[in-house]
């Protein structure tokens, strides 16, 4: 799918075809993608499957410990279609809420991180339409969603980072009703700033409990970056790195970028 393709909605024929495909998909279980299943610590103990681009470091941390996995195979680090941000009036189970989490400029090129959050479908009919709609945004349901009916009651999210003309999906997952983080729990991925490049994993993207007021990212050179809650941006200029809410998502998100010459070591909720 082209990065500048515009999506103005499906025609009736396309919609009919999408429904037939979605109905067929509900009868077949899709094989789990080659990613690791991890039991995370903390209050919310359940198996999590995060699809992370190859070369990323995945950390699932909680109040009782942390697990770090480097070099996870993912769904590929190729181009991801860039779609216009939907307006509030358009958001529904059929269009995502898009929130820019951070942006800036490095070496003369703009970079950004955003998250698409899909509302949980209330029934199978909504789930069928959402399944087809996700394809229009080049967003594939995560491994724990094997058939259409698995979408019901789950909030889907997809994080994407872009640098210049390149963009790639970083983390994708589903959140069941009531599945929120608590205390000092956090879930994050650390990746290279430039999709498909070599070099250190400097870009950290994650989410924390609504009660978290400070997250500290620690870098391999011994320095650190403290992030605090930031208000919604006015839509102009850079989007400040910090802790912020994303429309439709139960937890807070954060993004921090390591200085040049160093890389991600660990991150913790420090307040």
Adjacency order of strands within the sheet including 214-219: 224-228, 214-219, 264-269
Q: Rounded to an integer, what distance in angstroms lies between the CA atom of residue 230 and that of residue 33? A: 35
pLDDT digits (tens, 9 = 90+) for 166-210: 999 888 888 888 889 999 999 999 999 999 888 899 999 999 999
Q: Rounded to an integer, what distance in angstroms lies between the CA atom of residue 86 and that of residue 94? A: 11
Q: Rounded to an integer, what distance in angstroms lies between the CA atom of residue 103 and that of residue 187? A: 20
Give the model's pLDDT for residue 115. 96
The band of 140, judged by pLDDT with boundaries at 50, 70 and 90, is: confident
Phi, psi of 152, rounded to the nearest 5 degrees: -60, 125
**Three-state secondary structure call for residue 185:** coil
- CA dihedral 98→205→203→230, nearest 10 degrees, is 70
pLDDT digits (tens, 9 = 90+) for 107-116: 999 999 999 9
| CB-based contact 177:54 (threshold 8 Å) | no
Buried b (16+ CB within 10 A) or exposed e, 97-123: bbbbbbbbeeeeeebbbbbbbbbbbee
Sequence length of the chain is 271
Question: Where are the chain's structural domains?
Answer: 12-269
Name 57's bridge partners: 70, 190
Q: Does this model's pTM top 0.75?
A: no
Name 182's bridge partners: none
């Amino acid at each position: 799918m082209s990065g500048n393709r515009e999506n103005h909605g499906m025609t009736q024929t396309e919609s009919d075809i999408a429904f037939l495909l979605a109905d067929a998909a509900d009868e077949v279980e899709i094989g789990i993608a080659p990613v690791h299943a991890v039991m995370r610590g903390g209050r919310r103990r359940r198996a999590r499957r995060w699809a992370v681009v190859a070369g990323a470091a995945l950390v699932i941390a909680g109040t009782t410990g942390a697990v770090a996995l480097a070099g996870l195979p993912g769904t590929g680090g190729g181009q991801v279609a860039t779609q216009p941000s939907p307006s509030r009036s358009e958001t529904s189970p059929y269009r995502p809420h898009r929130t820019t989490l951070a942006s800036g400029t490095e070496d003369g090129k703009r970079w950004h991180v955003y998250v698409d959050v899909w509302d949980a479908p209330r029934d199978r009919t909504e789930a069928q339409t959402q399944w087809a709609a996700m394809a229009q945004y080049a967003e594939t349901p995560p491994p724990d969603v094997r058939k259409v009916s698995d979408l019901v009651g789950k909030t889907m999210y997809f994080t994407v980072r872009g640098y210049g003309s390149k963009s790639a999906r970083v983390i994708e997952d589903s959140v069941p009703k009531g599945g929120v983080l608590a205390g000092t729990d956090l879930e994050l991925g650390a990746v290279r700033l430039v999709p498909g490049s070599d070099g250190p994993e400097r870009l950290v993207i994650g989410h924390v409990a609504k009660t978290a007021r400070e997250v500290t990212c620690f870098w391999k050179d011994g320095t650190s970056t403290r992030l605090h809650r930031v208000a919604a941006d006015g839509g102009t200029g850079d989007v400040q790195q910090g802790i912020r809410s994303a429309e439709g998502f139960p937890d807070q998100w954060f993004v921090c970028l390591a200085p040049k010459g160093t890389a991600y070591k660990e991150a913790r909720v420090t307040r």
